[in-house]
Amino acid sequence: MRIAAYAPLKSPDHPVPSGDRRVARLIDQALRLSGHEVEWPARLRSRDGAGHPDRQLRLAQIGAWIAARLVRRFAARPDAERPKLWLNYHLYYKAPDLIGPAVAKAMGIPYVVVEASVAAKRADGPWDSAHRAVLAALAQAGGVIALNPADVAGVAPHLAPGTPSILLPPFLDERPYAAARGLHDLHRDTWGRRLKVDPWKPWLVAVAMQRPGDKLRSYETLAAALAKVVDLPWQLLLVGDGPARADVERAFAPLAERTKFVGRLEEADLVALLAAGDLFVWPAINEAYGMALLEAHASGLPAVAGFSPGVASIVADGKTGRLVPPGDADAFAHAVRASLADMPALAAMGEAAAAKIAAAHGLARAAAEIGTLVAQARPR
């Protein structure tokens, strides 16, 4: 089947790396692995982060114009080259799909949504029109795939009766991480020399964009927590960059001798660095689930992370890591201390983490489940 896919928050070819871009690319991989042809015919970024009704109106007008143009373009193709389904990734009030529902309706094809959420409190507020666009899209959906268990209850009441829906665990292509895990000693030596880090001390790793808001709050919580365990030997490797880099550096200034700012890494380098680490540490404040946690577990790193339903779908508390209340620096410090107190037990958690990813979060399994849902979808 030929599928037209669209990510209104961040398309797969967006120049700025992020978890959203990564998931969009993984969805593309999964669809192709399940035998479908995929195109991404629209790049409109419909995000309105500030809640400006005028901006939402203008975006809706642009979306309607693009939708009409795509319908004409698709109609001019031979039938075999026309999309037979529209798939939207990441539908929520700050980034509604202003194109897909109109295209799907005009062409009489199913409309499928991957990772939707409903924020009822946005009704009648500054995001009201975007919120209503989300509800209209869900009402038209012929299939829904949830990646975060926290979203299911909010979305379900807005679907037509009988709409096929599945809860799919967050996923990734685990094969590069499994291969790198088998070369732990080599990567440890390489990165130890490259970063001038002691390979005999435990390596704590965090991977995240450095931007204002919840990411910065997570960095600040991490700094506050690690300041409480300076009596233990460890070194911290921070992977990422962004507009809040200076704020992150200030937060970790008291830990400067133990902290290495690695910067942004290409995927191959990140895979190698994760394979060299000992413990992934990330407070994950207000994160849906966190692709970096998946990557860490696939690399055999146990994690200390802030609890949310999405994070808990990856990190099994007490088995593949430790979960603490979000934003609680004291609890986070206690969990890090407990993790470093027993390195053999920590290594066993890492093995369990890698096994969990291979069993439940791999690309092949996701492709099969997405393929089944797509085959069931019908136009509304």
In DSSP terms, which residues pair with 6 in a beta bridge? 88
CB under 8 Å to 149, separation ≥6 — which residues? Answer: 167, 309, 310, 313
Give residue-wise pLDDT tens across range 134-160. Answer: 999 999 999 999 999 999 999 999 999
Span 170-228, pLDDT tens digits: 999 999 999 999 999 999 999 999 999 999 999 999 999 999 999 999 999 999 999 99
Domain ranges in the chain?
A: 2-171+362-376, 175-360
Euclidean distance between CA atoms 288 and 305, whole angstroms:
12
Q: Is the pLDDT of residue 18 over 90?
A: no
Beta bridge partners of 259: 236
Tell me the average pLDDT of the chain.
96
Residues forming a β-bridge with 39:
4
Which of the following CATH numbers is that of domain 2-171+362-376: 3.40.50.300, 3.40.50.2000, 3.90.1150.10, 3.40.50.620? 3.40.50.2000
Burial class (CB in 10 A: 0-12, 13-18, 19+), 363: middle
Whether 2-171+362-376 shares its CATH topology with 175-360 is answered yes
What pLDDT is attached to residue 65? 98
Average confidence (pLDDT) over 71-76: 98
Q: Indicate the CATH number for domain 175-360.
A: 3.40.50.2000
Taking 90 as the threshold, does the pLDDT of residue 380 lie above it?
A: no
pLDDT tens for residues 238-256?
999 999 999 999 999 999 9
Distances from the Cα of 115 to the Cα of 7, 166, 169, 207, angstroms: 11, 10, 11, 22
DSSP 8-state class, residue 231? T
Are 259 and 236 in contact by the 8 Å Cβ rule? The answer is yes
Please check whether residue 169 is in contact with residue 369, taking contact to mean a CB–CB distance below 8 angstroms. Answer: no
pTM of the entire predicted model: 0.89
